[in-house]
Amino acid sequence: MRYWLGVVSKEHVLKGVAGNFAQVCHGKKGPLSKMKKGDWLIYYSPGDKMGESNLKAFTAIGKISDDEIFQFKMALNFIPFRRKIDYLGGYLELPLSTIKSRLELCKESSWGYKLRRGLIELSESDFALIKKAMEQ
């Protein structure tokens, strides 16, 4: 089992939660291929909308439900790749600032730069810390 952090605007996260799908890195297949059934995904949203940085919060958490990667036609020239995911209900949006000092991820000098990849692996301890904080 592995733990992932997807960097996606809150607006797009909410679409995924409503449709029970995960989509990262502007719909690229490669990052989704790293995830397997049973892996966990937490979304971090820099902003409410793509390109904004007004939020900086963890916004959803879920478990990958199968090993299938599929495409979905959103527009004539945009057919992104997705994965099915079971999102957990009852979890609160969590501002990064409330736990930043305790995350292994944020202790690295280049942690902010790593987020630009769109999908990074989390340590089990960071995952557990974020998940527990989102439960409250």
Instruction: Please report which confidence band the pLDDT of residue 136 belongs to, taking 50, 70 and 90 as the band edges.
Output: low
pLDDT recorded at residue 110? 80
What is the rounded average pLDDT for all residues in the chain? 93
Residue 119 has pLDDT above 90, yes or no: yes
How far apart CA 32 and CA 118 sit, in angstroms, is: 11
Least confident of 29-33, 53-57, 75-79, 108-112: 108-112
Domains annotated on the chain, with CATH: 3-135 (3.10.590.10)
In this prediction, residues 108-122 reach a mean pLDDT of 87
pTM for the model stands at: 0.92
